[in-house]
Amino acid sequence: MTEPSKDGLKWYEPILLSLLPPLAVFFAKSLLYSCREVEIIGREEAEAAINRAEGRAVFVTWHQRVSYQLRHLAPRGLTVMISQSRDGEYGARIARWAGAKNVRGSSTRGGKEALRELISLVKRGGTAGMLADGPLGPPRVAKVGSVIIAKEAQAPIIPVVWGGNRCWCLNSWDRNLIPKPFSKIVIKYPPPIWVHSDASRSEIEGFRRKLEDSLNEASKWCDDYFGVNWPWNKRKNA
């Protein structure tokens, strides 16, 4: 049995970390740029909110709907939170090749430090990207991290969801969606969410629920657009 190295990587993984991320991003972008965006709803209001906040913003989506954001949000140069795990190292390398910056941490390890780093970055006019139900769910249940960043940095939360007419739906915990080549894509931006700086704990919970509801409603709108109903709970073995 191969033992991991001191940094948690097996002996061959530095080679894989050099080769796999650029290849993965190349093939992912080749796939995503074959798709056609047929409608985008709500982007003007989102842009107005970002301008009002002098460039600060927290973009938020569901874990299931992250794949197409590699194309749609790539020009934003978002900073995303990625876990400190070995799998997270692959994710961090892929994010960099895709044009995103990252801070390392999760709800189980290094999360508070990563959250403070994101807050500081957004305060300085940066943009953060968050997966509302990451890193491991439960699916379609928003965590509070995005709300805390928005409150402390006084930046709008920008929910954004995509849907496609033809997708692969993986049997992962999040039922990750990947558009098939040459799919039609719609994108929905629900109204931006502003969290006032003196929000109480109960108000923060209210904003968290509002974010959760807006992402779920946007997901349904995207699916209804094409008359599909993509599952979001992992299929149990019979």
Instruction: Please tell me the predicted confidence (pLDDT) of residue 111.
Output: 76
Measured CA to CA in angstroms, residue 2 lies from 8, 10, 11, 13, 206 at distances of 12, 7, 8, 12, 48
Query: What's the pLDDT tens digit per position in 48-64?
Result: 999 999 999 999 999 99
Instruction: Please tell me the predicted confidence (pLDDT) of residue 107.
Output: 62
Q: What is the mean pLDDT of residues 104-131?
A: 87
Q: CA–CA separation, 196 vs 156, rounded Å?
A: 10
β-bridge pairing 167-169 and 177-179:
antiparallel
- Which of 17 and 78 is assigned the larger pLDDT? 78
Length of the chain: 238
Q: Across the chain, where does the E strand assignment appear?
A: 36-41, 57-61, 79-82, 101-104, 127-131, 157-159, 161-164, 167-169, 177-179, 184-188
- Tell me the pLDDT band of 79, cut-offs 50, 70 and 90: very high
Instruction: Please tell me the predicted confidence (pLDDT) of residue 158.
Output: 98
Query: What's the pLDDT tens digit per position in 84-105?
Result: 777 778 888 888 888 889 898 7
State how far Cα 34 lies from the chain centre: 21
Measured CA to CA in angstroms, residue 51 lies from 20, 79, 114, 161 at distances of 37, 18, 25, 21
Domain annotation for the chain: domains and CATH numbers: 37-226 (3.40.1130.10)
Query: What's the pLDDT tens digit per position in 204-235?
Result: 999 999 999 999 999 999 999 999 999 988 77
Task: Count the Cβ atoms, other than its own, within 10 Å of residue 199.
Answer: 17
- Which of 9 and 10 is assigned the larger pLDDT? 10
- Tell me the pLDDT band of 3, cut-offs 50, 70 and 90: very low
Q: What is the mean pLDDT of residues 191-195?
A: 98
Contact 171, 23 (CB under 8 A): no
Tokens matching residue 157: 């939360």
Q: CA–CA separation, 202 vs 205, rounded Å?
A: 5
Tokens matching residue 23: 């290849």
Instruction: Please tell me the predicted confidence (pLDDT) of residue 110.
Output: 65
- Tell me the pLDDT band of 237, cut-offs 50, 70 and 90: low
Query: What's the pLDDT tens digit per position in 18-38?
Result: 888 899 999 999 999 999 999
The DSSP output letter for 232 is -
Instruction: Please tell me the predicted confidence (pLDDT) of residue 109.
Output: 66
Beta partners for 40?
187
- The tokens 């056609």 sit on which residue? 36
Model confidence at 5: pLDDT above 60? no
- Tell me the pLDDT band of 80, cut-offs 50, 70 and 90: very high
| SS3 call for 35 | coil
Beta partners for 152?
none
Q: Please report how many Cα atoms fall inside a 13 Å half-sphere around the Cα of residue 135, on the Cβ side.
A: 17
- Burial annotation 157-187 (CB, 10 A radius, 16+ → b, else e): bbbbbbbbbebeeeeebbbbbbbeeebbbbb
Instruction: Please tell me the predicted confidence (pLDDT) of residue 4.
Output: 37
Least confident of 1-10, 120-129, 185-194: 1-10
